[in-house]
Amino acid sequence: MNIHKFMMPEIIFGNGSIQQVGESCLRLGATNVLIVSDPGVIAAGWLDVVIQSCKQAGLKYTTFSDITINPKDEEVEKGCRVYMEHECDSIIGVGGGSSIDVAKAIAILATNGGQIQSYEGVDKIHHPLPPQVMVATTAGSGSEVSQFSVIVDTKKQKKMTIISRSLIPDIAIIDPETLVTKSAELTGATGMDVLTHGIEAYVSLAATPLTDVQAKNAISLVAEYLRPSVASKMNREAKTNMAMASLQSGLAFSNAILGAVHAMSHAVGGKYNLLHGDVNSILLPHVMEYNLLANPKKFADIALFLGMDIRGMSHMEAGRRAIEYVKQLTADIGAPQRLSSIGVEEEEMKKMSLMALHDACMITNPRDVTAEDIEEIFRRAW
């Protein structure tokens, strides 16, 4: 009998749930919290809501928001200094993947010391982390429920993937109301990240029945609700369902890991300051084409999850239909179509291919891959 393990935090989901952040910290024994956020979240007003909740709970707090869209090692080190100087005992992350990944990385350094580069890879964290409450505001990264933190090594110009059970937050809060302040561009980019998480988790070598059900639901929700979510900030039904899709795809990939799309996008994101979801949206159909041979049945399943009628088709034919669907979806929401259109330089592909080959996400890609294979995929997407 196969043995499956599924890890997740306590989850609080629903409109208005962001106001429970202070009480959630109290339940974990927190008294003095570091709130990690970013300028976009501050401008939208959500940091003020979190601060007010902390005040009502009687918590001391300090804020840190010096974070960019592809968070860097130096930002983590600066945040850790703030944590230590103010003698904090717990961490709140408020935002998308950038804020939450930095919050997790600060937690690592606060209790394990050293440099964040020392923790790249799988299970390199040896001492318990402080209590962590993560508040997701983008319906994209899934970091609020995952065992991942992705941080840019500025010297090597690469994204480091840190994977550890310790990085799964104690409590994850997902409030769909926070999505109404997002732009259409960011909604599309983060939504394509959700779809990529769901698809890569479903075809991952580490997929299980426990992750498959989460991935399936996430893919179906994105197919139905990403377009209307991009079209209207005030479509509450679409926002709620995209928040649920992000949560479920996050649970799926946290446990099944990912694949070549993320390994390659990490390589791109280490060199270029681009939206992670935009890079994923370009790479996803090309990686799907490459991986189709490895598991045609699962790609046929994906076509079904996307709502397609595949009766009478072979698994390969249905899988190709799924790939065409993804291409059309990116076009419909105005996502970029080519790497060249967002500033990726052709001469960097060989170097990025080698970086992607050694990314931890590549381990669970369903089809064997070489640096030459990766470079060819990059060129097809360029």
User: In the chain, what are the domains?
Assistant: 10-178 (3.40.50.1970), 182-381 (1.20.1090.10)
Residue 112 pLDDT more than 70?
yes
Mean pLDDT across the stretch 301-313?
Answer: 97
Strand segments, DSSP code E, in the chain are 10-13, 32-36, 60-64, 90-95, 121-122, 132-136, 148-153, 158-163, 171-174
Q: Within 10 A of 262 (CB to CB), how many other CB atoms are there? A: 33
The candidate with the shortest Cα–Cα distance to 201, out of 155, 267, 136, 247, is 247
* Per-residue tokens: 188: 């599309």
Mean pLDDT across the stretch 229-255?
Answer: 97
Residue 304 pLDDT more than 60?
yes
Residue 25 pLDDT more than 60?
yes
Q: For the chain, first and last CA: distance in Å?
A: 44
Query: What residues have CB less than 8 Å from 61, skipping those under 6 apart?
Result: 32, 33, 34, 35, 51, 54, 55
Residue 2 pLDDT more than 90?
no
* Per-residue tokens: 113: 């010391």
Structure confidence at residue 139 as a pLDDT band (50, 70, 90): confident
Residue 115 pLDDT more than 60?
yes
DSSP-derived secondary structure letter, 128: P
Buried b (16+ CB within 10 A) or exposed e, 10-25: ebbeeeebbebbbbbb
- Report pLDDT for 1: 57
